[in-house]
Amino acid sequence: MMKFGSYILPTLAATVSSASAFTAGIGRTPIASRAFTKTSSLNAKVPKLTEPANQILDNTDVFIFDCDGVIWRGDSLIPGISETLDKLRALGKKMFFVTNNSTKSRAGYKKKFDGLGLNIPAEEIFSSSFAAAAYLEQTKFKESGKKVYIIGEVGICEELDNINVPWIGGPEDGDKQPDMGSGGRLEVDPDVGAVIVGFDRRVNYYKIQYAQLCINEIEGCEFVATNLDAVAHLTDAQEWAGNGSMVGAIKGCTGVEPTVVGKPSPLMIDYLCDKLNLERSRICMVGDRLDTDVLFGTDNGLQSLLVLSGVTSEDKLLSSENTITPDYYADTINDFFLDSESS
């Protein structure tokens, strides 16, 4: 078994021994066979956080934070976040940061946190690029002798390198174009056993064609998606098309449903609870998306809080058409200390 700490960051060894350990301790039905059910509530009224000590802080030992739209927007730290995280640590709260963005590896996200002036221990960071690698370890993909075709960026590549799973594609195919002249065809590597689709700012027709040929023509080739996020905060100025658009392109030309390893998949929360002996009812999932973050909380027995600092508006949350409801909502996580500000 390859030691996780030895292939990502030495400091991770204290919490996670390997991607295998990340999944082996789960002991539950494989992700591919598990369905996610939206929590339905007609015209539900979601209370806004007004007394954070009584509503959230006193009842929570562990906070799981989404990153984009909660901690930062694009490459800009949301004002006040650093101080809020310091206050939570001073109260003895444990924190984990779980992102569906696969463009960076865990080591890469550690660098981003550092660059924003946030001293977050590496073992508290979980990305969907890591989750994809952990899923391959769970399913013993390496033992098949196959390789992975990647639509995605360097984060997935680095995580697969860390577990010694061979891959092709990724950034290297960013400028390629298929021959579509008379008689033109694109030849694919017959040893591809899985296609992983993550967010890719250089996605192109070559990559889409390569992926669909692998899935449609290579027997047993699996389709794995890091997440299905519809939009992303690449900058703090507007929303951008998310990985759901790239996954949708492959799903559209193959008719195959992907195995999703990021939120709301239970893989990461199963690990945290089983390995660190956490009580689910004392965990609060905090995010800016209803269909990933809040659903991740409600479907996995956690408390949940939606913040309006990301992609979800108050109107959408409180709409009669919304069927996914958190326990509370707030403008930002800085509202955790409204009581102290008013006193």
- Active site residue ranges: 61
209, burial (CB in 10 Å: exposed 0-12, middle 13-18, buried 19+): middle
Give the side-chain half-sphere CA count within 13 A for 136. Answer: 34
The three-class DSSP label of residue 306 is strand
Find all residues with CB under 8 Å of 150, minimum gap 6, and list them: 156, 157, 160, 167, 168, 169, 170, 195, 196, 198
**C-alpha angle 100/61/113, rounded to 5°?**
40
Identify the H or E element spanning 205.
helix 205-217
100 contacts: CB under 8 Å, gap ≥ 6: 66, 128, 226, 227, 229, 243, 262, 263, 292
Q: What span, in angstroms and rounded, lies between the C-alpha atoms of 180 and 185?
A: 7
User: What value, to the nearest 5°, has the Cα angle with vertex 264 and ends 59 and 94?
Assistant: 35
3-state secondary structure of 231: strand
Could you say which DSSP state residue 78 is in? Answer: P
